[in-house]
Amino acid sequence: MLAFSGIENTPIDNTDSDRTTATNNTMGGFTEEEGSLVLPDGTTLYTKSWKPEGTPRAILAFYHGYSDHCNSFFEFFPNLASSGFEVRSVDQRGWGRSVINNRKLRGHFGSTTAVMADLHFFLQSLIPFTKESSVPLFLMGHSMGGMNVLYYALNPESPYHHQQDSTPTTKVKVAGILSIAPLITVHPSSQPSKIVEYAGRIAKLLMPRMTMVQKLQPTWISKNPAVIDDLNNDKGVLFHNTGTLEGLAGMLDRGAWLNECYKKTIREDYVYRGDVPPLWVGHGTDDRITWFDSTKKLVEGLHFLEDTTFKEYKDASHKLMNEPDGVGDAMTKDVTEWLEARLPKVDA
């Protein structure tokens, strides 16, 4: 049974800079609400929503990346909400405000099976809201989250492709997948040595819940001074850079699986070829956290899918939606137009 302690959401005062960094309302009215989602094992996750005035055009579920949280995307979610899209986000297991009061659980985000189950449950929790408004559900992720949503859509073993016994209240139907700077491959400048990776995998078998710090360089994440300041001033509270050996190995394995998808000789049962939702993928060419080349190859390898879009952002860093010099605005425009083109047609 689904448990939603977050249905009774709490409106947020936009002047409270500690609770939300997304306060720039540029196109229309929206409200922000905090809540929580109780997973089947009793784990409680922090949730945050950006809601447009009136009935939304669609609901957009968002999954953040490694050592990130859902309040770190500045104007991006408010601008989407101001365009009529209701954004529903969550601080994943082991991250952000979901573990702010329990340091022992930081970075405990689980195996691939657990990560996919959490994502599927999060989407199931949104079904009542899509039915209430009669609107489609889209799924977006950034970095590790961008990789997770692609894996969820493309891997034949994903819970998304095993819903035969689901009921109308539990069956997830996604109208489109958006992946921003996905972690298909770690950029060569950020990759650990083969010896370190091998030692980590051996240790994972013996001590899967042992944690290690994998710090991300703020200046590699973004060229935006505000983003860099946000990371530096956090002091490891929300951006804690910590993961278990089990979680880190699973993260890299999911990326490695996706990295095989572009090969021309791949067997036909490797990638799910049934009802895969439309895909939008965007990546910056100057991303030194995740590798642009791997993402581009992946999308090229998905030529057999009916609806795929790849957007290249020249000289842009990892956190595309927050990039300066018009890059973030351009990406927001691209995403908005792509979503609008895939909304249900309304009879005149």
Residue pointed to by tokens 């083969």: 194
Q: What mean pLDDT is predicted for residues 212-234?
A: 86
* pLDDT tens string 156-209: 999 999 999 999 889 999 999 999 999 999 988 766 655 456 555 655 565 667
Measured distance CA(62)–CA(53) in Å, rounded: 19
Residue 57 clears pLDDT 80, i.e. is over it: yes
3 DSSP β-pair partners: 38
CATH 3.60.21.10 fits 23-341, yes or no: no
DSSP class of residue 285? T
CB 222 within 8 A of CB 322: yes
Report the alpha-carbon distance of residue 180 to residue 55 in Å, rounded. 26
pTM of the model: 0.87
pLDDT band at 103 (very low <50, low <70, confident <90, very high): confident
The DSSP-derived string for 94-158 is TSGGGSTT-GGGTT----HHHHHHHHHHHHHHHHHHHHHHT--EEEEEETHHHHHHHHHHH-TTS
